[in-house]
Copies of this chain bind each other. A is one copy, B any other.
Amino acid sequence: MKRSAFFISDGTGITAEGIGTSLLAQFESIEFDKITLPYIDSIEKARETVAKINKSAMNDNEKPIVIDTIVDADIRSEIAKANAVTIDIFGTFMGLLENELHTKSTHIVGKSHAINTASRTYERRMEAVNFALDNDDGARTRYYNEADIIVVGVSRSGKTPTCIYLALQYGIKAANYPITEDDIDDQKLPAPLKVHKNKIFGLTIEPERLSLIRNERRPNSRYASIKQCNYEVEEVELMYRRERIPYLNTTDYSVEEIATRILLETGIERRVK
């Protein structure tokens, strides 16, 4: 059984998609054909959208599920005409909020993005992304005094995407430094990290998963062997415990989860809200 699901927004559609995916994930037995329609910001586009939805309804012989985060009431009313089960986020909750806040909402389209385009916010995020790229993989260590966090871990344990996500989503300046076999053999924290020990956060990963990931990069290498992965992971975890570095096992987590769990554990403040 397949059902069509439309995520409709006057902006990027990222919020509508987030809610929709969350809700529909609760019905595992049903396969959904998910369609995101962003920037539906005029009556004309709304009418085209209704036509698309109705076509799906006919083809599926079932009402599509529609999740919309459109701000403008007129555009929403147009969407509501579709032959669909509609989850209308603004329509459902705006009245409640207006009553409680004793204020009419401004109904301004384009205000509904999770991250606004206000110049300072944008600049902070871009600054942070550039910082993450410039200070990736231990490439440069002399700016660690500017870093909010220094993520460490063995090769391919998820440092780079974590740092980039922390930068993009939260404006956090995250550097990362790879723990190599040499560092492990030395039995001590690499010199560039020592002076910034309070900023360090460790990542670890199950050796089996690490071996799989490394095999994609360098198939059948010593680097990717389960023996080597076992050794590095065991040693790096010993180092974290010995040096009292907080750490997280990333095996079962998405990048978003790793980033938000680091925020939670370290209490680092976001630079954009």
Q: Which A residues are closer than 8 A to B by beta carbons?
A: 3, 11-15, 17-19, 21-30, 34, 38-39, 63, 65, 69, 71, 85, 87, 89-90, 92-94, 96-97, 100-101, 103, 105-108, 111-117, 122-123, 125-127, 129-130, 133, 136, 158, 160-161, 164-165, 168-169, 213, 216, 252-257, 259-261, 264, 273
Q: Copy number of this protein in the oligomer?
A: 2
Contact A39 B125 (CB under 8 A): no
A261 contact set on B, CB distance < 8 A = 38-39
Which of chain B's residues have a CB closer than 8 A to the CB of A39?
260-261, 264
Pairs A–B under 8 Å by Cβ, sample size 18: A12-B256, A12-B257, A14-B18, A14-B169, A14-B256, A18-B114, A19-B19, A22-B69, A22-B113, A25-B111, A26-B71, A29-B103, A30-B103, A85-B97, A116-B254, A122-B255, A133-B136, A164-B164
Report the Cα distance A21→B100, complex, angstroms: 17
| Contact, CB under 8 Å: A89 / B19 | yes
Complex partner residue of A116 from B25, B87, B90, B107, CB under 8 angstroms: B25
A114 with B22: CB separation less than 8 A: yes
